[in-house]
Amino acid sequence: MSEGPNHGSGTKIRDRLQVPDSNVFLPYTRIHGRRPGPTLLVTAGIHGGEYPGIEAAIRFAQALDPGRLRGTVNVVHMTNPPAFFAKSQYFTPEDGKNLNRVFPGRVDGSLSERIAHSVMSLAKESDYWVDLHGGDIHEALTPFLIYSDQGGPLVVERSRAMAEAYGIRYILESSSIAGSTYATSAQVGVPAILAEAGGVGQLSEDAVQIHLDGLENVLRLLDLVSDPLPRVETKPIFRKFVWTHASTQGLFYPLVQVGQEVHHGDLAGRLQNEYGDLIQEIVAPQSGVVLFVVTSLAIVDGDPLLAVASE
Ligand SMILES: [Zn+2]
């Protein structure tokens, strides 16, 4: 379906990507520029409760003028509609899987795996991929970016350049979470970043703006538009990202804030039982900066609690 008058000789098409063997459709916008150039994929809402990324993708697709574009931009506004409308944290309701752990997916797999498979068809025709996230419904975070250290020096270098241009302070070069967008993308030779801003189930305008500014900077970096890239500050690259998980069910009382510097072994939270007795002291797993903290009082065995990044 065409969106109406074309800008210049470029086009903007709204379409829906059907997930095989399901009634799930992923809304996306395909924007063709006036001149040839690279193809950028933008995805949002892999996790249904991460609202600023979804809102940023919608506004970015609406606002991007094909007349100023060189190349093609594909924007998937909402990659996991079942999780979004179920208000489901972390998991796709139909199969209980974390969509960002099942890439590249399978055409004959469970719903999450089939969604991943559909998105990979767009990724494989792309030169670059930006995947928008934030803290989930019970997750506070300070904005950060991840890219993979896999895929060879050129893919790593281009991914790092996108991360540095995005404008977020904390950047992680990760040995990669298996099945994640950015890791799978790097493995197929497509430079990628995963950008995190906002959290705790809020549609924060500040977080939306962080993503919109970041996406504009990526367009400039990749010469998809001819406007100059603002000067990029050199930032430290974090390479150690250590998560702490609960080893038992309980009530979680965090004692650290996102963005806070901690030392290895510092008391970072308490897990208590329903009577208020201490079950487990949660300590900082390494020295560094706290990037996310789970805000849910209710915790089950294996839940993530917080993560600390360092160089
Ligand atoms: Zn996410």
Q: For residue 134, report the distance from its CA to the centre of ligand 1, in Å.
A: 6
- Rounded to the nearest angstrom, the distance between the alpha carbon of 123 and the centre of ligand 1 is 18
Cα 14 to middle of ligand 1, angstroms: 24
Token pair belonging to 89: 């944290």
132 alpha carbon to ligand 1 midpoint, in Å?
A: 8
Q: Secondary structure of the chain in the HEC alphabet? A: CECCCCCCCCEEEEEEEECCCCCCEEEEEEEECCEEEEEEEEEECCCCCCHHHHHHHHHHHHHCCHHHCEEEEEEECCCCHHHHHCCCCCCECCCCECHHHCCCCCCCCCHHHHHHHHHHHHHHCCCEEEEEECCCCCEEECCEEEEECCCCHHHHHHHHHHHHHHCCCEEEEECCCCCCHHHHHHHCCCCEEEEECCCCCCCCHHHHHHHHHHHHHHHHHCCCCCCCCCCCCCCCEECEEEEEECCCCEEEEECCCCCCEECCCCEEEEEECCCCCEEEEEECCCCEEEEEEECCCEECCCCEEEEEEEC
Global pTM reads 0.95
* Ligand 1 centre distance from Cα of residue 183 (Å): 14
Ligand 1 centroid, distance to 195 Cα (angstroms) = 9
Q: Which residues contact 157 (CB under 8 A, 6 or more apart)?
A: none
Low-confidence ranges of the chain (pLDDT < 70): 1-9
CA distances from 189 to 76, 109, 116 (A): 20, 24, 17
CB 235 within 8 A of CB 264: no
Residue-range domains of the chain with CATH: 11-221 (3.40.630.10), 240-310 (2.40.50.100)
Query: What pLDDT, on a 0 to 100 scale, did the predictor assign at position 9?
Result: 67
Q: What is the pLDDT of residue 235?
A: 86
Cα 196 to ligand 1 centroid, rounded to whole Å: 7
Find the radius of gyration of the CA atoms of the chain.
19
CA distance from start to end of the chain? 47
C-alpha 194 to ligand 1 mean position (Å)? 9
pLDDT at 2: 37
34 alpha carbon – ligand 1 mean position (Å): 33
Query: What's the gap in Å between 68 CA and the centre of ligand 1?
Result: 30
In the reported structure, the alpha carbon of residue 311 is separated from the centroid of ligand 1 by a whole-number distance in angstroms of 23
**Residues 140 and 207 sit within 8 Å (Cβ to Cβ):** no
Please state, in angstroms and rounded to a whole number, the distance separating the CA atoms of residues 249 and 141: 22
Least Cα distance to 100 among 125, 57, 136 occurs for 136
Question: Can you read off the two tokens belonging to residue 133?
Answer: 């996230």
- Whether the upstream peptide bond of residue 104 has omega within 30° of 0, thus cis, is yes
CA atoms of 299 and 311, how far apart (whole Å): 29
